[in-house]
């Protein structure tokens, strides 16, 4: 259940009307690892396995290609509230040691991090292997938008979508949290053993450092956003070899890093 109906009072100038409004659901999910609480995330229910899979991958807790064992420990109104993941201690990544001690809210990608060094991301800079025309991005966003059913109903969710090098659609997920949506699409392709084909990450909102770091860990070289990019997101993208594009609307865009990815066409801005 990604949306729920609430009663509200709508005021328009001098008139007021009682309405039933559709809201995006925000609910807590406790993630246990080997029957011990690890963190609590605020998310939109649905695709919880993909969310957890992507989260564990980005946090350097589990990067094996073996199938994970998920168990719903508790649920409320058929919505999971606690899910346990069983991972052999021999293959637990070092990220497990950075155990989150605080609530990770839907708008925060660093909540619960203990030290500043915990936000660092290590790895070799991505190498450029493709170029693309800016005109293709509009078509890709139209494809993503066609799957944003929760947003169309509520106006309150974000979306993330992945495409391959031929601009072919791979997956899309929605969530109240931007980084949750990214975890969901990455997790979805991890479960399907298809992440290596993802080359474009499209996001419906702004881009902060945590989305860039998730893309880098997943080896996705191109991030395209509808909205703004933060200063740290741009710094990370430059360091990681990622082409970062913001304000992609109405045939316009702003390229913040590695513009050599984009072919200069008539529509290039």
Are 147 and 256 found together in one domain? Answer: yes
pLDDT reported for residue 57: 95
CATH of the domain at 171: 3.40.140.10
Q: Model's pTM, two decimal places?
A: 0.89
Are 70 and 186 found together in one domain? Answer: no
What's the domain count of the chain? 2
Are 141 and 110 found together in one domain? Answer: no
- What integer best gives the mean pLDDT of the chain? 89
pLDDT reported for residue 236: 93
Statement: residue 269 has pLDDT above 60: no
Are 37 and 86 found together in one domain? Answer: yes
Known binding-site positions: 247-252
Statement: residue 266 has pLDDT above 80: no
Are 235 and 144 found together in one domain? Answer: yes
**Residue 19 resides in a domain:** no
Domain residues for 188? 132-263
pLDDT reported for residue 101: 52
Q: Decide which of 73, 91, 118 is a domain's last residue.
A: 118
Which active-site residues does the annotation give?
108
Task: Kindly report, residue by residue over 105-140, the tens digit of the pLDDT.
Answer: 666 655 655 554 555 666 788 988 778 888 899 899
pLDDT reported for residue 106: 61
Give strand ranges (E) for the chain: 3-12, 15-24, 27-33, 36-43, 69-76, 79-86, 103-104, 132-133, 158-163, 169-175, 200-203, 222-225, 243-249, 252-257, 262-263
Are 80 and 177 found together in one domain? Answer: no
């Amino acid at each position: 259940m990604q949306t729920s109906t609430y009663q509200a009072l709508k005021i328009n100038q001098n008139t007021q009307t009682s309405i039933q409004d559709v809201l995006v659901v925000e609910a807590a999910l406790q993630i246990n690892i080997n029957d011990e609480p690890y963190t609590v995330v605020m998310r939109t229910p649905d695709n919880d396995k993909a969310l957890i899979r992507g989260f564990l991958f980005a946090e350097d807790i589990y990067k094996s290609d073996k199938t994970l064992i998920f168990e719903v420990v508790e649920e409320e109104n058929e919505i999971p509230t606690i899910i346990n993941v069983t991972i052999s201690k021999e293959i637990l990544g070092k990220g497990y040691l950075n155990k989150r001690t605080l609530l990770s809210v839907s708008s925060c990608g660093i909540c619960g991090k203990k030290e500043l060094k915990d936000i660092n991301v290590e790895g070799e800079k991505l190498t450029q292997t493709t170029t693309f025309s800016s005109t293709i991005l509009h078509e890709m966003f139209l494809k993503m938008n066609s799957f944003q059913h929760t947003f169309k109903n509520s106006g309150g969710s974000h979306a993330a979508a992945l495409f391959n090098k031929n601009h072919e659609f791979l997956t899309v997920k929605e969530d109240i949290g931007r980084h949750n949506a990214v975890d969901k699409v990455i997790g979805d392709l991890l479960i399907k053993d298809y992440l290596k084909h993802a080359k474009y990450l499209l996001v419906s909102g702004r881009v902060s450092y945590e989305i860039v770091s998730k893309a880098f860990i997943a080896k996705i070289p191109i991030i395209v956003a509808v909205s703004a990019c933060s200063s740290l997101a741009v710094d990370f993208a430059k360091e990681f070899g990622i082409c970062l594009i913001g304000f992609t609307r109405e045939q316009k865009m702003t390229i913040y890093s590695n513009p050599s990815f984009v072919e200069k066409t008539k529509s290039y801005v």
